[in-house]
Amino acid sequence: MVATLKEQLNFLLKEAIRLLQSEGIVPADFDLAKIKIDYPDYGRGDYATGLALQIGKLIGKNPMEIAEILKKEIEKQHPIEFERIEIAAPGFLNFYVSEKFLLGELEKILKEENNYGRGKKNNKAVLVEYSAVNIAKPFGIGHLRSTIIGQAIYNLYGFLGWKTIGINHLGDWGTQFGKLSYQLFEKKLKGASSKEAVKILGKLTLADFEKIYVEFHQEAEGKPEMADYGRQWFKKLEDGDKTAKMIWIACVKTSLKEFNRIYGLLGVKIDHAIGESFYLDKIAEVINEAKEKGLAKESQGALIFEYPNEVLPPAMFLKSNETSTYFSRDLAAIKYRIKQWHPDLFIYEIGSEQALHVRQFFLASELLGWAQKSQFVHIGHGLYRTAEGKFSTRKGQTIHLEEVLNEAIVRAEKLISGSEQNKNLKDKEKQQISEMVGIGAIKYNDLSQHYSKEIIFDWDKMLNLKGNSGPYLQYVIARCQSLLSKAKNRRGLDPREVVEMAVEERAVLGMLFKFPEIVAEAAKLFSPNLLCNFAYELAQKYNLLYEKLPILNAEKKEQKIFRLALTKATAQILKNSLTLLGIKAPERM
């Protein structure tokens, strides 16, 4: 993969520092990883670094003097991509990209279109576990974050040339199924024949299963013994009891049908949907290996994984009744995935409240000699919460995702129908655009915030269709497409015909070429919000150009051609950005 301009600048700065180290000006132990390159405000260059400030503070010299030395050393390396380097008090270096380079990138965007910034296929593989919805529970708002953040990260790595493996680790096993089985048997199936039971179960919806689960916990508040009944029924399920298994199969079948419909609405398709139950026959091998390496031992009737020097609390392999646990199933899943796909990187997009559990099975994998610590990444997203606290399925405090998506589509349709230019849209086209806009609003609202942030559920914020939002970006794309469709002369850009650029043109051009850098950084930091920030800023700068400068009626032919080229490139880069975020862009709005 060709290095981005930011990466090239980083190399130039490192070379300058190494030279200064060899001359004794900079300490030999100065950490080159501390070099930080920023995107400054417009008018202060395309890149800026406060490196001279860091060095000046370290060695007790005036940062302005250090900046001057760094500037001279970089200029000696003849970086033709930069038009000039300026020093700004109290010691910043500002780098201005050359017009020739910018115009070259503009041509590349127009030529490469969807492939601009795409990395060449490499030999690295990344496994991303995300969504991980629970069987027998409706797709709640709580699973939205894992699903769309995970999909965006999957998209980013695939775009950069990695082999991507997406896993939906379905929660289809555990004590909750014992509770559900007990309640279903007692309330609906007791006394029914197998044939009658199958018929009864087949009529139940996911909402029915959720209601029954909530009823169990409501009744259990006054009957503590019901917790034991739930454990007993889960033991039956693990032992292969026919009734327990029949109930479980019905839960899985109904759930998957509903989930796939929601995934279809979201435009999400995950490579492999594998339930926890798949790993049950693989747990014994993991336990035996842990015993051989002295990492598993019995404790109060249960089997635990013990960490050397108690660096983490012990994790439970098997409960005292010998039923499996999340830990044992997750560990078996890692071993299977290594054998099946040999990933170089494991990314687990799981809620932040699972941090300890994730650290336990990551470290266990390392202690068992399966993988290195550096191969594991936990994207611990913050939760959606009510103003009072965490959503709880047990208490019946959930907001179903489908309810949110449908409301978003309805609001988007009202917005679209209220526009004069859309009055001739056919109902089918209006519905399609409403889905793109409404669901785009939901996704962007989430993805534009850092994954670690907790989000208070608010209908108005969730369904924001204006300002920094998905619909705003979609509208800018539609505006660009409309302009291009009206242009009579749509030939390509010839840089030789460009007259002196207006401030607004240079601002747009100075954003476009940064797309590959932002994509690389968003992937490296597992932060799709960086791509949202970039797209929003680009859209703002283009809108300013649109408002200030005539495009179709430009004074000179060269201006019209250039501004149309900027229009086409802006639409392309915004569309590429939204595609990576998993958001569709309608041709018109």
Residue-by-residue pLDDT tens, the chain, 589 positions:
458 999 999 999 999 999 999 999 999 989 998 899 999 988 899 999 999 999 999 999 999 999 999 999 999 988 889 999 999 999 999 999 999 999 999 999 999 999 999 999 999 999 999 999 999 988 888 889 999 999 999 999 999 999 999 999 999 998 999 999 999 999 999 999 999 999 999 999 999 999 999 999 999 988 989 999 999 999 999 999 999 999 999 999 999 999 999 999 999 999 999 999 999 999 999 999 999 999 999 999 999 999 999 999 999 999 998 999 999 999 999 999 999 999 999 999 999 999 999 999 999 999 999 999 999 999 999 988 766 666 555 555 567 898 889 989 998 888 888 776 777 788 888 899 999 999 999 999 999 999 999 988 777 776 676 788 999 999 999 999 999 999 865 555 565 566 689 999 999 999 999 999 999 999 999 999 999 999 999 999 999 999 999 999 999 888 999 999 999 999 999 999 999 999 999 988 7
Tokens 């018929």 map to which residue? Answer: 199
Beta carbons of 384 and 352 less than 8 angstroms apart: no
Question: Which is it for the CA torsion 367, 368, 369, 374, positive or negative?
Answer: negative
Measure the CA–CA gap between 234 and 182, rounded to whole angstroms: 9
- Domains recognised in the chain with CATH numbers: 5-97 (3.30.1360.70), 126-385 (3.40.50.620), 401-580 (1.10.730.10)
Could you tell me the strand order of the sheet in which 125-129 lies?
272-275, 163-170, 125-129, 345-351, 376-381
Question: Which is it for the CA torsion 102, 103, 104, 108, positive or negative?
Answer: positive
Backbone angles phi and psi of 400, in degrees to 5? -75, 135
Q: What is the end-to-end Cα distance of the chain in Å, rounded? A: 37
Which are the contacts of 547, defined by CB distance < 8 A and separation ≥ 6? none
